[in-house]
Amino acid sequence: MADENESDLDAVADGPLESDRGQALHQVSRGDPSLHPSVESLLAGFPDEVQSYQLTAGDQWVVWVRPERIHEIMTWLKEDGAQAYDMMSDVTGVDYGGGRPVEVVYQMFSTTHGRALRIRCPIPLETMETDSVYDLWKSADWLEREVFDLFGITFNGHPDLRRILMPDDYAEGHPLRKDFPLRGRFSRAEQTRRALAQNVERFYSAEDLESGEPQEVEVAELSAVPAKTSDDVPGSPLNGVDL
Protein backbone atom coordinates (compact mmCIF):
# COMPACT_ATOMS: atom_id res chain seq x y z
CA MET A 1 0.00 0.00 0.00
CA ALA A 2 2.86 2.37 0.86
CA ASP A 3 4.51 1.74 -2.50
CA GLU A 4 1.24 2.55 -4.31
CA ASN A 5 0.89 5.82 -2.37
CA GLU A 6 4.46 6.82 -3.17
CA SER A 7 3.82 6.08 -6.85
CA ASP A 8 0.74 8.32 -6.81
CA LEU A 9 2.68 11.16 -5.18
CA ASP A 10 5.47 10.79 -7.73
CA ALA A 11 2.90 11.16 -10.52
CA VAL A 12 1.64 14.38 -8.94
CA ALA A 13 5.17 15.73 -8.62
CA ASP A 14 5.87 14.97 -12.29
CA GLY A 15 3.07 17.33 -13.30
CA PRO A 16 0.44 17.03 -16.05
CA LEU A 17 1.01 14.80 -19.05
CA GLU A 18 1.14 16.34 -22.50
CA SER A 19 -1.61 15.62 -24.98
CA ASP A 20 -0.86 12.85 -27.45
CA ARG A 21 1.66 14.31 -29.89
CA GLY A 22 0.47 11.96 -32.60
CA GLN A 23 -3.11 13.14 -32.30
CA ALA A 24 -4.20 15.40 -35.16
CA LEU A 25 -5.78 18.57 -33.81
CA HIS A 26 -8.11 19.25 -36.70
CA GLN A 27 -6.79 17.67 -39.87
CA VAL A 28 -10.14 16.40 -41.09
CA SER A 29 -13.08 18.72 -41.68
CA ARG A 30 -16.38 17.03 -40.96
CA GLY A 31 -19.90 18.16 -41.65
CA ASP A 32 -21.54 19.88 -44.57
CA PRO A 33 -20.78 23.63 -44.22
CA SER A 34 -23.90 24.50 -46.19
CA LEU A 35 -25.87 23.41 -43.12
CA HIS A 36 -24.55 26.41 -41.20
CA PRO A 37 -24.81 29.75 -43.06
CA SER A 38 -21.95 31.37 -41.11
CA VAL A 39 -19.53 28.52 -41.74
CA GLU A 40 -20.34 28.59 -45.44
CA SER A 41 -19.96 32.38 -45.53
CA LEU A 42 -16.63 32.25 -43.67
CA LEU A 43 -15.26 29.77 -46.19
CA ALA A 44 -16.38 31.99 -49.05
CA GLY A 45 -15.33 35.35 -47.59
CA PHE A 46 -12.11 34.38 -45.78
CA PRO A 47 -10.75 31.32 -47.62
CA ASP A 48 -7.13 32.02 -46.66
CA GLU A 49 -7.90 32.59 -42.98
CA VAL A 50 -10.10 29.55 -42.31
CA GLN A 51 -7.86 26.63 -41.43
CA SER A 52 -10.54 24.06 -40.79
CA TYR A 53 -14.10 23.49 -39.60
CA GLN A 54 -15.86 20.71 -37.76
CA LEU A 55 -19.27 19.70 -36.49
CA THR A 56 -19.03 18.37 -32.93
CA ALA A 57 -21.44 17.21 -30.22
CA GLY A 58 -24.19 16.87 -32.78
CA ASP A 59 -24.89 20.55 -33.40
CA GLN A 60 -21.83 22.61 -32.38
CA TRP A 61 -20.00 24.10 -35.35
CA VAL A 62 -16.34 24.99 -34.78
CA VAL A 63 -14.17 27.02 -37.16
CA TRP A 64 -10.40 27.43 -36.81
CA VAL A 65 -9.10 30.76 -38.14
CA ARG A 66 -5.65 32.29 -38.36
CA PRO A 67 -4.87 35.07 -35.86
CA GLU A 68 -3.68 37.71 -38.36
CA ARG A 69 -7.20 38.96 -39.24
CA ILE A 70 -9.11 37.74 -36.19
CA HIS A 71 -10.48 41.18 -35.29
CA GLU A 72 -11.69 41.77 -38.85
CA ILE A 73 -13.39 38.39 -38.92
CA MET A 74 -15.03 38.88 -35.54
CA THR A 75 -16.22 42.35 -36.56
CA TRP A 76 -17.81 40.88 -39.68
CA LEU A 77 -19.49 38.13 -37.65
CA LYS A 78 -21.08 40.72 -35.39
CA GLU A 79 -21.96 43.50 -37.82
CA ASP A 80 -22.93 41.62 -40.98
CA GLY A 81 -26.72 41.33 -40.94
CA ALA A 82 -26.69 37.76 -42.18
CA GLN A 83 -24.49 36.76 -39.22
CA ALA A 84 -25.42 39.13 -36.34
CA TYR A 85 -23.56 37.42 -33.50
CA ASP A 86 -24.57 39.88 -30.83
CA MET A 87 -23.71 37.68 -27.84
CA MET A 88 -20.22 36.65 -26.72
CA SER A 89 -20.88 34.08 -24.00
CA ASP A 90 -17.31 32.90 -23.40
CA VAL A 91 -13.66 33.46 -24.21
CA THR A 92 -11.24 30.84 -22.96
CA GLY A 93 -7.94 29.18 -23.81
CA VAL A 94 -6.58 25.71 -24.56
CA ASP A 95 -2.95 24.61 -24.26
CA TYR A 96 -2.17 21.28 -25.92
CA GLY A 97 1.48 21.29 -24.85
CA GLY A 98 4.30 19.85 -26.88
CA GLY A 99 5.23 23.22 -28.39
CA ARG A 100 1.90 23.59 -30.17
CA PRO A 101 0.03 26.92 -30.35
CA VAL A 102 -2.22 27.98 -27.50
CA GLU A 103 -5.76 28.43 -28.80
CA VAL A 104 -8.13 31.23 -27.89
CA VAL A 105 -11.71 29.95 -28.06
CA TYR A 106 -14.67 32.27 -28.65
CA GLN A 107 -18.21 31.03 -28.04
CA MET A 108 -20.80 33.20 -29.78
CA PHE A 109 -24.54 33.23 -30.29
CA SER A 110 -26.84 35.15 -32.61
CA THR A 111 -30.11 36.01 -30.91
CA THR A 112 -31.37 37.30 -34.26
CA HIS A 113 -30.89 34.05 -36.15
CA GLY A 114 -30.92 31.65 -33.19
CA ARG A 115 -27.63 29.92 -33.93
CA ALA A 116 -24.31 29.37 -32.18
CA LEU A 117 -20.75 29.39 -33.51
CA ARG A 118 -17.41 28.60 -31.92
CA ILE A 119 -14.26 30.24 -33.28
CA ARG A 120 -10.86 28.82 -32.33
CA CYS A 121 -7.75 30.91 -33.00
CA PRO A 122 -4.30 29.26 -32.62
CA ILE A 123 -1.74 31.69 -31.14
CA PRO A 124 1.94 30.88 -31.88
CA LEU A 125 4.14 30.48 -28.81
CA GLU A 126 6.60 32.93 -30.37
CA THR A 127 4.12 35.80 -30.14
CA MET A 128 1.46 34.86 -27.56
CA GLU A 129 -0.65 37.86 -28.52
CA THR A 130 -3.78 38.65 -30.48
CA ASP A 131 -6.28 41.50 -30.85
CA SER A 132 -8.89 42.14 -28.19
CA VAL A 133 -12.57 41.93 -29.08
CA TYR A 134 -13.62 44.04 -26.08
CA ASP A 135 -14.67 46.85 -28.41
CA LEU A 136 -17.13 44.45 -30.05
CA TRP A 137 -18.49 42.60 -27.01
CA LYS A 138 -18.04 44.15 -23.57
CA SER A 139 -18.51 40.69 -22.06
CA ALA A 140 -14.99 39.91 -23.32
CA ASP A 141 -13.51 42.29 -20.72
CA TRP A 142 -13.03 39.93 -17.77
CA LEU A 143 -12.93 36.85 -20.02
CA GLU A 144 -9.85 38.08 -21.88
CA ARG A 145 -8.27 39.05 -18.57
CA GLU A 146 -8.77 35.48 -17.37
CA VAL A 147 -7.08 34.05 -20.47
CA PHE A 148 -4.23 36.55 -20.02
CA ASP A 149 -3.89 35.59 -16.36
CA LEU A 150 -4.00 31.81 -16.72
CA PHE A 151 -2.46 31.27 -20.18
CA GLY A 152 -0.27 34.35 -20.74
CA ILE A 153 -1.88 35.59 -23.98
CA THR A 154 -1.76 39.37 -24.46
CA PHE A 155 -4.89 40.95 -25.97
CA ASN A 156 -3.83 44.07 -27.83
CA GLY A 157 -6.26 46.93 -27.39
CA HIS A 158 -7.77 45.69 -24.14
CA PRO A 159 -8.41 48.73 -21.89
CA ASP A 160 -7.43 47.10 -18.58
CA LEU A 161 -5.37 43.97 -19.20
CA ARG A 162 -4.21 42.69 -15.81
CA ARG A 163 -4.55 39.56 -13.74
CA ILE A 164 -8.04 38.77 -12.50
CA LEU A 165 -7.73 35.52 -10.51
CA MET A 166 -4.11 35.50 -9.38
CA PRO A 167 -2.59 38.44 -7.42
CA ASP A 168 -1.11 41.25 -9.51
CA ASP A 169 2.39 40.38 -8.25
CA TYR A 170 2.02 36.62 -8.82
CA ALA A 171 5.48 35.61 -10.03
CA GLU A 172 5.08 31.91 -10.85
CA GLY A 173 3.71 32.33 -14.37
CA HIS A 174 0.41 31.17 -15.84
CA PRO A 175 -1.21 28.25 -14.00
CA LEU A 176 -3.18 26.68 -16.88
CA ARG A 177 -0.20 26.26 -19.18
CA LYS A 178 0.80 22.63 -19.68
CA ASP A 179 4.38 23.38 -18.60
CA PHE A 180 3.21 24.76 -15.24
CA PRO A 181 4.13 22.39 -12.35
CA LEU A 182 1.19 21.21 -10.27
CA ARG A 183 2.92 22.42 -7.11
CA GLY A 184 3.96 25.74 -8.62
CA ARG A 185 7.38 26.98 -9.65
CA PHE A 186 8.53 27.98 -6.17
CA SER A 187 9.34 25.64 -3.30
CA ARG A 188 6.77 25.14 -0.58
CA ALA A 189 8.99 27.11 1.79
CA GLU A 190 9.14 30.05 -0.61
CA GLN A 191 5.40 29.93 -1.25
CA THR A 192 4.78 29.96 2.53
CA ARG A 193 7.20 32.83 3.03
CA ARG A 194 5.46 34.90 0.34
CA ALA A 195 2.01 34.12 1.78
CA LEU A 196 3.03 35.22 5.28
CA ALA A 197 4.70 38.38 4.00
CA GLN A 198 1.81 39.56 1.83
CA ASN A 199 0.10 42.83 2.63
CA VAL A 200 -3.68 42.73 2.44
CA GLU A 201 -3.66 46.27 1.00
CA ARG A 202 -2.25 44.93 -2.25
CA PHE A 203 -5.67 43.40 -2.99
CA TYR A 204 -7.30 46.84 -3.04
CA SER A 205 -6.98 49.53 -5.67
CA ALA A 206 -5.97 53.07 -4.79
CA GLU A 207 -9.60 54.12 -5.22
CA ASP A 208 -10.73 51.46 -2.73
CA LEU A 209 -8.25 52.65 -0.13
CA GLU A 210 -9.23 56.28 -0.62
CA SER A 211 -12.87 55.48 0.13
CA GLY A 212 -12.06 54.85 3.79
CA GLU A 213 -10.75 52.29 6.20
CA PRO A 214 -12.65 49.00 6.74
CA GLN A 215 -15.22 49.30 9.51
CA GLU A 216 -14.54 47.39 12.71
CA VAL A 217 -17.34 46.23 15.00
CA GLU A 218 -16.61 46.01 18.72
CA VAL A 219 -17.63 42.87 20.58
CA ALA A 220 -19.62 45.01 23.02
CA GLU A 221 -21.72 46.30 20.13
CA LEU A 222 -22.57 42.77 19.04
CA SER A 223 -23.59 41.72 22.57
CA ALA A 224 -25.98 44.66 22.73
CA VAL A 225 -28.00 43.33 19.78
CA PRO A 226 -31.00 41.33 21.11
CA ALA A 227 -31.25 37.73 19.99
CA LYS A 228 -34.07 36.96 17.56
CA THR A 229 -36.61 34.44 18.86
CA SER A 230 -39.59 32.64 17.43
CA ASP A 231 -41.80 35.14 19.29
CA ASP A 232 -40.98 37.60 16.52
CA VAL A 233 -42.66 35.29 14.01
CA PRO A 234 -46.48 35.35 14.22
CA GLY A 235 -48.04 31.93 14.69
CA SER A 236 -44.69 30.16 15.30
CA PRO A 237 -45.06 26.93 17.33
CA LEU A 238 -41.55 27.44 18.79
CA ASN A 239 -42.37 29.80 21.65
CA GLY A 240 -39.32 31.48 23.15
CA VAL A 241 -36.82 29.36 21.20
CA ASP A 242 -33.78 31.26 19.92
CA LEU A 243 -33.47 31.09 16.14
pLDDT, tens digit, 9 for 90 and up, residues 157-190: 999 999 999 988 889 999 999 999 988 899 999 9
What are the CA-CA distances from residue 192 to residues 9, 28, 70, 100, 203 (Å)?
A: 20, 48, 42, 33, 18
Query: What 8-state DSSP symbol labels residue 241?
Result: -
d(CA 30, CA 53): 7
What pTM was computed for the model? 0.73
Weakest-pLDDT range from 111-115, 131-135, 199-203, 215-219: 215-219
d(CA 59, CA 217): 55
Q: 30-164: CATH homologous superfamily?
A: NADH:ubiquinone oxidoreductase Nqo5 subunit (3.30.460.80)
| For residue 22, pLDDT beyond 50 | no
CB count, 10 Å around CB of 76? Answer: 18
Among candidate residues 41, 176, 190, the one with its CA nearest the CA of residue 117: 41
Bridge partners, residue 64, by sequence: 52, 120
Among candidate residues 69, 66, 64, 79, the one with its CA nearest the CA of residue 117: 64
